[in-house]
Amino acid sequence: MVPTSISQIATLIIFIISYILIFSGKVDRTTAALFGVFLMLSAGYAFHFMTFEEALGHVDWEVILLLFGMMTFVGQLAKTGFFKYLGIKAIKLSGGKLWLLFVYLTLLTTFVSMVIDNVTTILLMIPLTVEVSEMLEISPVPLILGEAILSNIGGVATMIGDPPNILIAYASKYSFNAFIYHLFLPVLVSLFFSLLIGKFVYRGWLRRNPKNIERIMELDPTEYVKNEKLMHYLLIVLFFMILFFALQDYLHISPAFVALIGGTLSLVITMEDPKKAFEAVEWPTLVFFIALFMLVGGLEETGLLADLARALSSLSSDPLYTAILILWVSGITSSFVDNIPITAAFIPVVAVMTGTYHTGLLWWALAMGVGLGGNITPIGSSAGVISISLSRRYGYSITNKHWFSFGSLAAFVSMLVGTAFLFLLQYMG
């Protein structure tokens, strides 16, 4: 049926109500999204623009399966003590020098975040960071902030480093290699400038003399490994997962299938009870994704998003100008609300605009915007929110002033770097 203006108004109102509930914090975001789906489907049946079966058709099940597979695998790998092993190695390598400790821990968190999601990485790294900081009798706040902020930047570099990138990858049909080709260099430059900003902001902290360095140097990384044999087996699986991700263009194997096989092999290798193993899977997050797909699907069915895309395209015939606009609008928006629903809302619009401009530049602008913009405020990313929550649990308060002095500055510099690279990416295709 041809969409009517009434159905468009209805879906827009429902979408706004759903997002207000999601961002209010008064209702769990998954519950709010499911309630929005209930309203959207009710309107869909009333105005004849979408049935339940059609709503399910808007869910990208490959995204859901990729997330499920990666969550399952990472949960098994974490239980072997591998990430603590890496952390202790990095700490010993610093020799107790605070600047090196800052660099090694933040970069370790960053590069791990390129392979597994940054929320999981933060949950694994912060307890170790606090433990070592207390040994050295220093404040862990600069280290925690560095890990959170740089992990957000690092997650932008790869297809699987951040949930928004996974959404963008499947919507744009770009491969694992394409993300690295287009985004790895601007991420590296952003990391470099962020480290310089950290060195300036924390220059007073860096001048302090840590104590008990000998205790740090006596730490044995292998003592943190709970099962070395399983760890080696799982690392072999991880190697082949990354290899198959990288060969996607040649083998034409879905990343979701690779992640699902990796998760399955991790269960076979560890022989852990699936009920216990699946505790590492963030089921509310998966349901949240499914609900978001359905919500956005309602807007697509009425033609509202296509109309919005045409309106935005009419603002300028220059795709570079439009890409810069998308980067900054999505970035600033993501600084106040979770970047996953922002990405889900932008994707259909960018998809239509990409067809108009015949360039993939807008996808890379969106990836950098939602990924880097989350560092502007303490509530702009899940990694930031969890870092602040964990720091308080350990007795160290991270204030807004702490965040703005480093995170916001790093975010704006990173977005400026992203803007500069859009000029280069325009000629890379």
Measuring CA to CA, which residue among 5, 39, 37, 109 is closest to residue 344? 37
> What pLDDT does 428 receive?
62
Quote the tokens at residue 336: 């106040």
pTM for this entry: 0.83
**Other CB atoms closer than 10 Å to residue 229's CB: what's the count?**
10
Between CA 213 and CA 224, with CA 218 as vertex, the angle to 5 degrees is 115
Per-residue pLDDT of the chain (429 residues; tens, 9 = 90+): 444 578 889 998 998 998 888 877 788 888 999 999 999 999 999 998 999 999 999 898 988 998 899 989 988 998 998 988 988 888 888 888 899 999 999 999 999 989 887 777 888 888 889 988 888 889 999 999 999 999 999 999 999 888 889 999 999 999 999 999 999 999 999 999 999 999 999 999 999 888 888 888 888 888 889 999 999 999 999 999 999 998 988 888 999 999 999 999 999 999 999 999 998 888 888 898 899 889 988 988 888 877 777 777 777 778 899 999 999 999 998 887 777 888 888 898 898 888 888 788 999 999 999 999 989 988 777 788 788 878 888 888 888 888 999 999 999 999 999 999 999 887 765
Give 135's contacts (C-beta < 8 A, 6+ positions apart). 212, 215, 216
Cα separation values, 5 from 166, 260, 303, Å: 33, 42, 10
Residue tagged 């890409």 (tokens): 323
Judge contact between 197 and 407, C-beta under 8 A: no
> What pLDDT does 406 receive?
94
> What pLDDT does 3 receive?
46
SS3 53: helix
DSSP string, 93-152: HHTT-HHHHHHHHHHHHHHHHTTS-HHHHHHHHHHHHHHHHHHHT--SHHHHHHHHHHHH
Judge contact between 14 and 40, C-beta under 8 A: yes
> What pLDDT does 228 receive?
92
